Structure 1
């Protein structure tokens, strides 16, 4: 069996490090040939490169190249470089490094980059004919029309736990048999709270997620339900299901990762304890499965799984995203960029918690007619307008 050759973009982040764990435990099936990151953690990047024996390392920040080179040689020396036992990989660097890496010879690209800078590498991987394991949700949210135009059928495999679950459940029937998608949400730290109870939320409270261990931006997005709002847009783009047929259900245990309801009344659910290694392994090996990628549900014990409707008054982000998605064009990109600015302002104490989604709503209401994005630059221009407008609103209305 020849291992599937993989390029990891964002290798030093949460998705990247967990993907490497999956690969190292399955060397007969998976091999990493290239890794890329911004360059902010040169020691980890060098250690990953030498441990995996990659052919190439990508560094997005040119200013970090020397640090990465020094770290590579230091790591190689520890591993016997002087005796010729360790090979230093090639380095590609600069703003286009991740795109070059995305088109590197191989079978699959995992895009674990954070933010809209992941859009161009997504397009590069698709145009090079690679299978794309997509964890960079901004690619679809900001550049959905561009990604759809570049992707062949079944070329994109989702990495998010919810979309991985949907992809697995959809295999139970044909597209015309699907009635709706049900995207589950933990409810975050404020599940059950009314809008009036969220006026004095602190950053520390918003970061106290009850289920998942995530980065600060994603965790705050979970607290506002913006993360789920973005996942609704992503589900629409991935599976070509109308916004009217995508439902959000609050499931605090986070064991059912999403469900598909079929026209006959059957609902197929994907269940597993919260562990991102499972959807990562599923994407890397798609359509096969990796044995023992993560722990399964213990069916010898009793379990309670609760499901609740989403409180749209307390958490209006999901409906706001549906409206932006239905309007199309660059409005989903505007939604995402305005939210990033608002989250940064909240984290810095310049905006109240409820002001995050309120700012996004105001920016969307002010958006000019951007039209369908024809290029990456058009998407970035819409995002820049949204960021600037959000900063103006925050300066006017913030604390």
Structure 2
């Protein structure tokens, strides 16, 4: 039985990971979980799984969870803030950490887990976007496996099994295109928040759903793929595939292409990452090819959805530029979610920040420099637009 911790257990990936654990026939023991401030959801997790350790980022929420555990005689240790994330990432009892928190907050606990020699089931894109070089190097040094949970990277990971990385010619990342696929700038300049959150295929958290609508989600995945699979940016192609049946593909030097196909259900890549290299009985719906009328593919419109272009630019420039990209995007998406800016403003804000902070991006890639620059970028965007 594997001991696991889930960072971000009440979010979209976290709740689907709990479902995989729930249906695992006792292959896993849930040792630790964290959340931001979802007290009611955390109470339900405690009642069902009885984990030994809880982390709540919000201090008041941590107090409420402590009171609940005392009242109901649950023998649970409760932590708050970043201390809790790091503690629950490094417990002696765990073998693998599912990092499903959203944003830069996932960086420190992921690094701590690697240093504690825990395998990482990675669903936190931002960790590799801002610190891919550090994370992958440290994982190699500690003998730790980074197992991708994103459906696209999970698909690539599967398509690479049994083959040599030297034979890889191209990674083809598929994208649904989001709710505004095929729409013009004139159409989307006044779209509402509700329209942007209406993803056609996937049920995700609000930040990731907006990233999908701007195609920034795919841009972050490009940078992530660069580090996960040691692939240069010229060999990574994004392909819009509205049906979300082919989750990504790998082309080899002999022109053979291997695709991973499955239902648009995140439990499939989660289950594979947690059980790798074994496969278990399905938790996702089977594909019935008789019901699929067509699979279509399109070139992404990087003029209308320029976040994808900006992500490629940031990745190619390297250094700390992806930190600027990510920090500006997180703040811009938050502003849009709070209806303080328009949809197309998100990309403009990111582009402006990348220009303003160009001189900072050549500093050494260290955790301290990443965090310092991230804070500067966020303050700049907030002061200008917030």
The TM-score bracket by the shorter chain reads over 0.9
Task: State how many pairs are aligned.
Answer: 382
1:206-245 → structure 2 map (5 Å cutoff): 206-245=196-235
The residue number in structure 2 matching 1:385 is: 376
**TM-superposition CA deviations, 1:245-290 (whole Å, max 9, x none):** 1000000001111110111111111111111111111111111122
* Residue 33 of structure 2 is aligned to residue 45 of structure 1: no
Q: What root-mean-square deviation, in Å, do the aligned CA atoms of Structure 1 and Structure 2 show?
A: 1.7
CA shift, 1:125, in A, is 0.8
CA contact (8 A) 2:360 2:373 kept: no
**Matches of 1:93 and 1:359, distance apart in 2:** 32
Ranges in structure 2 where 5+ consecutive residues have no aligned partner: none
- Partner of 1:88, secondary structure, is coil
Residue of structure 1 aligned with 2:356, choices 366, 369, 373: 366
1:274-353 → structure 2 map (5 Å cutoff): 274-353=264-343
CA contact (8 A) 1:359 1:393 kept: no
- Partner of 1:188, secondary structure, is coil
CA shift, 1:172, in A, is 4.3
**Matches of 2:22 and 2:110, distance apart in 1:** 24
CA contact (8 A) 2:114 2:138 kept: yes
The alpha-carbon distance between structure 1 residues 66 and 305, as it changes in their structure 2 partners (threshold 3 A), is same
The residue number in structure 1 matching 2:135 is: 147
* Residue 110 of structure 2 is aligned to residue 122 of structure 1: yes
**TM-superposition CA deviations, 1:34-74 (whole Å, max 9, x none):** 11222x12232133124213222223333322200122244
CA shift, 1:186, in A, is 0.4
CA shift, 1:374, in A, is 4.3
CA contact (8 A) 1:179 1:245 kept: yes
The residue number in structure 2 matching 1:247 is: 237
**TM-superposition CA deviations, 1:341-373 (whole Å, max 9, x none):** 222222333322211101111110111233355
CA contact (8 A) 1:194 1:314 kept: yes
Residue of structure 1 aligned with 2:51, choices 50, 54, 71: 54
Residue of structure 1 aligned with 2:27, choices 1, 5, 29: 29
**Matches of 2:83 and 2:363, distance apart in 1:** 24
Ranges in structure 1 where 5+ consecutive residues have no aligned partner: 82-86
**TM-superposition CA deviations, 1:149-171 (whole Å, max 9, x none):** 21126610011111111111111
**Matches of 2:135 and 2:279, distance apart in 1:** 26
**Matches of 1:296 and 1:35, distance apart in 2:** 30
**Matches of 2:182 and 2:190, distance apart in 1:** 16
CA contact (8 A) 2:219 2:307 kept: yes
**Matches of 2:44 and 2:189, distance apart in 1:** 45
**Matches of 2:219 and 2:169, distance apart in 1:** 20
**Matches of 1:226 and 1:113, distance apart in 2:** 17
* Residue 91 of structure 2 is aligned to residue 100 of structure 1: no
**Matches of 1:203 and 1:63, distance apart in 2:** 29
**Matches of 2:346 and 2:223, distance apart in 1:** 19
- Partner of 1:305, secondary structure, is coil
